[in-house]
């Protein structure tokens, strides 16, 4: 890792939040993402940007805001989850949030989440409501994790985890190329039995843009990795078979592509 002193803004006091943005050739939306982070009403945060060796104008955009960025790295990595792990290792804040380079953090996002932190000091994580192109993703329903991954609002912009709790869970598992976040959440909720809450539907903390990494994954590869994650985490094999059969027939055309 290369540490550029020009990008360091040393703070005497530990920030409440560490905001991590990972970048790879994302110059189309990156500036809006950066502005949404540095423009937060609540200022008790540090900003970390992990670039995977961009060849477009991403680096020029980042350098434009170098005085607002606490830590910046540009080097090749092993994919998006490797970049997440690098950011987590650097984080000094009490809570960690990832804001992908094509997403937006609402201006009062950290203020909303801080309110929940103050009211619930023992919680491990918070899911904030997130606006997507077709509506609002909100709530947290942990009981659904045993049969569906649709139990939370969003990973990018919407997920805030206590750094001490993140250390207990461990890093994102790089053997999963598409859904290491599902594995992370399974370990967090089922294995570590951590406690979390969600903001109200109208307390939107971010905007999840159409497209991005998740849109590049074929349904078949996504489907197979989801099952592998359940199997590797020792979920009941009969449950996995039922899920596999149900999804296979429901999304047959997508799977056989």
Average pLDDT over residues 14-37: 95
Domains along the chain with CATH numbers: 5-211 (3.90.550.10), 218-257 (no CATH)
pLDDT of residue 211: 60
pLDDT of residue 22: 96
pLDDT of residue 76: 92
- Cα separation, 108 vs 63, in Å, equals 25
Model confidence at 2: pLDDT above 90: no
Chain segment 153-162, per-residue pLDDT in tens = 999 999 999 9
pLDDT of residue 145: 96
| Chain mean pLDDT for the chain | 90
Instruction: Give bridge partners of residue 162 from the DSSP assignment.
Output: 95
Residues with Cβ within 8 Å of residue 85, at least 6 apart in sequence: 171, 172, 174
Model confidence at 13: pLDDT above 50: yes
- Cα separation, 124 vs 27, in Å, equals 33
pLDDT of residue 120: 97
Model confidence at 28: pLDDT above 80: yes
71 with 7: CB under 8 angstroms? yes
What whole-number percentage of the chain has pLDDT above 90? 82
pLDDT of residue 241: 93
pLDDT of residue 1: 41
State the pLDDT confidence band at 114, using cuts at 50, 70 and 90. very high
State the pLDDT confidence band at 129, using cuts at 50, 70 and 90. very high
Model confidence at 111: pLDDT above 80: yes
State the pLDDT confidence band at 128, using cuts at 50, 70 and 90. very high
What DSSP string runs through 59-89? HHHHHHTGGG-SEEEE---SSHHHHHHHHHH
């Amino acid at each position: 890792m290369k540490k550029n002193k020009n990008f360091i803004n040393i703070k005497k006091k530990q920030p409440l939040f560490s905001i991590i943005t990972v970048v790879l050739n994302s110059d189309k939306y990156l500036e809006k993402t950066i502005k949404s982070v540095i423009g937060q009403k609540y200022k008790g945060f540090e900003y970390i940007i992990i670039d995977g060796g961009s060849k477009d104008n991403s680096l020029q955009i980042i350098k434009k805001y170098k005085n607002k960025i606490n830590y910046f790295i540009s080097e090749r990595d092993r994919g998006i989850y490797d970049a997440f792990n690098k950011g987590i290792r650097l984080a000094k804040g009490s809570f960690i949030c990832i804001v992908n380079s094509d997403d937006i953090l609402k201006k009062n996002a950290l203020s909303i989440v801080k309110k929940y932190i103050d009211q619930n000091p023992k919680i491990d994580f918070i899911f904030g409501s997130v606006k997507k192109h077709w509506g609002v993703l909100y709530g947290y329903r942990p009981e659904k994790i045993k049969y569906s991954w649709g139990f939370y609002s969003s990973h990018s912009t919407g997920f805030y985890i206590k750094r001490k709790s993140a250390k207990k869970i461990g890093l994102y598992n790089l053997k999963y190329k598409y859904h290491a976040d599902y594995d992370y959440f399974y370990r967090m909720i089922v294995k570590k039995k951590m406690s979390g809450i969600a903001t109200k539907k109208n307390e939107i903390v971010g905007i999840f843009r159409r497209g991005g990494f998740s849109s590049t994954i074929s349904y078949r590869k996504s489907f197979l990795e989801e099952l592998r994650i359940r199997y590797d985490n020792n979920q009941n094999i009969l449950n996995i078979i039922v899920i596999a059969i149900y999804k296979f027939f429901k999304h047959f055309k997508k799977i056989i592509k």
